[in-house]
Amino acid sequence: MDGKKNNSGNLIIYPKYMDLIYYSNDIVRKFPKSEQFALVKEIKNSIYSGLRFIMYGIKVYNKQDKLKYLRELDIQLSLLKVHIRLAYKYKYITMQNYQSWSNIISEICNLLGGWINSCLKK
């Protein structure tokens, strides 16, 4: 097992990413209305773009194309980290929210790193 699949062969990153989407949507509902078309929109764009890149990574069999999509996912996760840092700095989220959100993203980044490494070894 290369760190990205469970015992039944299914990708672990997909359900973890869905948890990120659920958590993020719950949190951004509490942001001020003035941020709904700014920071909230950026957060959602990063999250849903990342989901799209996971889907491409799952469906594409060409190793170079798969790596391209996984690297794009890595960029979206990096952007999301910046957005979350801003949300904390502007006090739209608590320290606990910030830590929980960051932990979910870190776990996904670790799974993504394993997935990228397994693609590079093949």
60: region left, alpha or beta (phi > 0 left; psi from -120 to 50 alpha): beta
Whether residue 1 is predicted with pLDDT greater than 50 in this model: the reply is: no
Q: Would residue 6 count as lying in a domain?
A: no
| CATH code, domain with 92 | 1.20.1440.60
Provide the pLDDT for residue 5: 62
For the chain, the domain total comes to 1
Task: Find the domain containing 67 and state its range.
Answer: 13-121
Q: Would residue 114 count as lying in a domain?
A: yes
Whether residue 98 is predicted with pLDDT greater than 70 in this model: the reply is: yes
Q: Would residue 37 count as lying in a domain?
A: yes
7: region left, alpha or beta (phi > 0 left; psi from -120 to 50 alpha): alpha
pLDDT digits (tens, 9 = 90+) for 8-50: 345 899 999 999 999 999 999 999 999 989 999 999 999 999 9
Whether residue 7 is predicted with pLDDT greater than 70 in this model: the reply is: no
Q: What is the pTM of this model?
A: 0.89
**Residue 11 phi, psi (nearest 5):** -65, 135
Q: Would residue 8 count as lying in a domain?
A: no
Q: Would residue 93 count as lying in a domain?
A: yes
pLDDT digits (tens, 9 = 90+) for 100-119: 999 999 999 999 999 999 99
Owner of token pair 């909230």: 40
Q: Would residue 89 count as lying in a domain?
A: yes
* Closest of 77, 103, 92, 82 to residue 27, by C-alpha: 92
pLDDT digits (tens, 9 = 90+) for 61-97: 999 999 999 999 999 999 999 999 999 999 999 999 9
Q: Would residue 1 count as lying in a domain?
A: no
Q: Would residue 75 count as lying in a domain?
A: yes
Provide the pLDDT for residue 122: 64
